[in-house]
């Protein structure tokens, strides 16, 4: 069993990934946090940019095996797959995605794939109306867009759970009290 963890936190816009990943980062010793936003290039050329970026990322991660460091990601190539499935990009990423997840699953880490979701979808409206939120090139921040994303993330989590037995797949309702969510994370990720 691996000594180190890879923790990937995914979910729709406005679900609270930043809050949760910041918490995990400071709660688990020896944890590096990476915030990835992918490429904004929605054209066919964007697919190649994304492929290269994520293949390089997995090579980097592979070099960190057995180094007693935890890697925490706020989004990765899973978001690229979701945005393509939803038609936000002009290409399919599925073929590349399958190769990437196969490579991820082969790494010597305890791998956690956490999907944050909101059981109260009206909570998206409150969270997305905060100051500083902007329109993304290919989608708007709104309740319906986030809910559609959420549904796709939850489907993807089920697909991963069925196919990759060594990836711990967990869906966490982040519309609950933050202390309850933190307690669940602490039990899941087993830190003192």
Domains of the chain from N-terminus onward: 5-186 (3.40.50.300)
Per-residue pLDDT of the chain (192 residues; tens, 9 = 90+): 457 999 999 999 888 899 999 999 988 888 889 988 767 778 788 899 999 999 999 999 999 988 888 999 999 999 999 999 999 888 999 999 999 999 999 999 999 999 999 998 888 877 777 645 544 444 556 778 888 899 999 999 999 999 999 999 999 999 999 999 999 898 888 765
Q: Which residue has the tokens 């290269």?
A: 52
Alpha-carbon distance of 84 to 34, in angstroms, equals 22
167-173 and 110-117: which strand pairing?
parallel
Alpha-carbon distance of 6 to 146, in angstroms, equals 25
Return the number of other C-beta atoms located less than 10 Å from residue 140's C-beta: 13
Alpha-carbon distance of 125 to 175, in angstroms, equals 12
């Amino acid at each position: 069993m691996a000594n180190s963890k890879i923790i990937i936190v995914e979910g729709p816009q406005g679900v609270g990934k930043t809050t949760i990943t910041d918490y995990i980062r400071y709660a688990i010793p020896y944890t590096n946090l990476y915030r990835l936003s992918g490429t904004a290039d929605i054209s066919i050329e964007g697919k190649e940019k994304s492929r290269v970026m994520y293949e390089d990322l997995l090579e980097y991660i592979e070099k960190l095996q057995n180094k007693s460091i935890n890697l925490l990601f706020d989004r990765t190539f899973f978001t690229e797959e979701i945005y393509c499935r939803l038609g936000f990009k002009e290409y399919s990423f599925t073929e590349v995605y399958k190769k990437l997840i196969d490579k991820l699953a082969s790494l010597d880490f305890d791998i956690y794939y956490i999907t944050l979701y909101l059981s109260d979808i009206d909570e998206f409206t409150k969270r997305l109306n905060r100051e500083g939120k902007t329109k993304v090139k290919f989608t708007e921040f709104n309740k319906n867009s986030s809910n559609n994303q959420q549904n796709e993330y939850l489907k993807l989590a089920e697909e991963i759970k069925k196919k990759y037995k060594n990836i711990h797949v967990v869906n966490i309702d982040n519309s609950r009290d933050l202390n309850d969510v933190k307690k669940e994370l602490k039990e899941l990720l087993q830190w003192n």
